[in-house]
């Protein structure tokens, strides 16, 4: 199990190369490439291949690898669904190409959720099964697995977090099993379990190690999607680490906790110290997983 964190906020503020450098200095084993913000930055409209090659060369020089990445996504429910879906598909294919260059094993690809969930469950399931199935040939060509993720929406009337696609672990299982390909696996977002009123340890056991091949590790207060580092919120990390041990989880321990950097600005030393703290806390949780496996 490798300890991994995202280029995320640091990459968007200081550039991806600086994020790689700081992640290496902080002691992480590998990198989760945030390919989402590239879409807003317009990188996919220029030479994204050259950008990926530059990142890979720099990481190789520092002797650190990329193991996971996050594809671009669009969470909004707005007019022009067909255009949005086509754009999401096209840019995901470009992200898959980048993953091959970077050496990424798993690319997290959000399920499409362009409509209110509860009254559109059947429609969204059929839509997403087509979406993931049509991406499979590109995954096979470039040797990259996709990981579906458990999602949430905000109620447009009161702003409260509510279920969306794959929030229910039984539905999440159905998505993975119906596509039935080694190129589609599950990334269980532990924080999303919490904000949709689900016990993360229950979800882990319900889905099992045969489906869960990646994680998004972060903490929250069960009200807001804080994306802060583990042990800074209300989630039960003793039960989570025990559950991961019980299913013999074989993937990496990947932080998606850039909310912890909020308000820290662009000071490299402050960001490095924050990364080092996240590294130390995460090493403790990884030891807990291994200790539970050995009992």
Q: What is the pLDDT of residue 14?
A: 97
Q: What is the pLDDT of residue 257?
A: 98
Q: What is the pLDDT of residues 139-172, one digit of tens each?
A: 999 999 999 999 999 988 898 999 999 999 999 9
Q: What is the pLDDT of residue 77?
A: 47
Domain of 34, in residue numbers? 3-293
pLDDT band at 85 (very low <50, low <70, confident <90, very high): confident
- CB of 4 within 8 A of CB of 255? yes
- CB of 176 within 8 A of CB of 148? yes
Q: What is the pLDDT of residues 170-216, one digit of tens each?
A: 999 999 999 999 999 999 999 999 999 999 999 999 999 999 999 99
Q: How many domains does the chain fold into?
A: 1
CATH at 113: 3.20.20.150
pLDDT band at 79 (very low <50, low <70, confident <90, very high): low
Torsion sign across C-alpha atoms 58, 62, 67, 73 = negative
User: With left for phi above 0 and alpha for psi between -120 and 50, is residue 21 left, alpha or beta?
Assistant: alpha
Distance CA 179, CA 188 (A): 17
Least reliable range by pLDDT among 81-85, 133-137, 271-275: 81-85
Residue 78 clears pLDDT 70, i.e. is over it: no
Q: Is the full-model pTM beyond 0.85?
A: yes
């Amino acid at each position: 199990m490798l300890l991994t964190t995202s280029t995320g906020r640091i990459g968007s503020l200081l550039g991806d190369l600086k994020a790689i450098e700081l992640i290496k200095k902080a002691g992480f084993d590998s990198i989760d490439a945030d390919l989402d913000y590239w879409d807003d930055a317009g990188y996919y409209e220029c030479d994204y291949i050259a950008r990926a090659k530059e990142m890979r060369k720099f990481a190789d020089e520092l002797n650190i690898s990329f193991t996971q990445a996050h594809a671009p996504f669009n969470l909004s429910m707005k007019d022009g669904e067909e255009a949005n879906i086509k754009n999401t598909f096209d840019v995901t294919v470009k992200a898959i190409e980048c993953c091959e260059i970077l050496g990424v094993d798993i690319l997290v690809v959000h399920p499409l959720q362009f409509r209110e969930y509860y009254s559109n469950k059947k429609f969204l399931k059929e839509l997403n099964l087509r979406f993931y199935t049509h991406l499979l040939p590109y995954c096979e060509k470039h040797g990259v697995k996709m990981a579906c993720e458990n999602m949430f929406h905000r109620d447009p009337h009161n702003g409260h977090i509510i279920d969306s696609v794959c929030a229910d672990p039984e539905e999440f299982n159905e998505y993975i099993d119906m596509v039935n390909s080694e190129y589609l696996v599950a990334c269980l977002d532990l924080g999303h379990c919490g904000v949709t009123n689900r016990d993360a340890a229950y979800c882990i056991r319900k889905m099992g190690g045969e489906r869960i091949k990646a994680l998004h590790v972060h903490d929250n207060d069960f009200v807001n999607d804080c994306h802060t580092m583990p042990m800074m919120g209300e989630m039960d990390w003793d039960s989570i680490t025990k559950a991961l041990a019980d299913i013999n989880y074989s993937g990496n321990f990947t932080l998606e906790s850039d909310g912890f950097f909020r308000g820290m600005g662009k000071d490299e030393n402050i960001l490095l110290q924050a990364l080092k703290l996240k590294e130390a806390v995460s090493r403790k949780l990884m030891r807990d997983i291994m200790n539970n496996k050995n009992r």
